[in-house]
Amino acid sequence: MDTLLVKTAQRRFGENLDEMTRELNAAVTGNALVTSKGFEAEDLEPLPYLKCLDDARARQEAHTAFEPEGVAAGAAAVASVGAEQ
């Protein structure tokens, strides 16, 4: 069951990513802004988001993905909770 849930989540994530990419590309083609999905009355330039997605895909294909700064320190702090006991 866990495998099915993970595969379903991965498929849905991929579908959502594809939909977002199509929307961004359509905005670029139409020389339009993209309406924010999180804030009212905020229109966004699509090119920075397309570049970010392209960079992430390239890193993923090259197996050179990176963690944002502080992630390792945060994970170590979480892992250490209760370790002193």
Is the model's pLDDT at 83 over the cut of 60? no
Task: Look at residue 80 and give its three-state secondary structure.
Answer: helix
Sign of CA dihedral 32, 40, 42, 49: negative
Strands (E), the chain: 34-35, 43-44
- What is the predicted pLDDT for the residue at 2? 81
- What is the predicted pLDDT for the residue at 27? 96
Per-residue pLDDT tens over the stretch 1-58: 688 888 888 889 889 989 999 999 999 999 999 988 888 888 999 999 999 999 888 8
Mean pLDDT of 54-81: 75
Is the model's pLDDT at 78 over the cut of 80? no
Q: Please tell me the distance from the alpha carbon of residue 62 to that of residue 52, in angstroms, as a whole number.
A: 15
Q: Please tell me the distance from the alpha carbon of residue 5 to that of residue 26, in angstroms, as a whole number.
A: 31
Q: What is the dihedral of CA 82, 83, 84, 85, to 10 degrees?
A: 70
- What is the predicted pLDDT for the residue at 73? 65
Phi, psi of 43 (to 5 degrees): -100, 140
- What is the predicted pLDDT for the residue at 3? 85
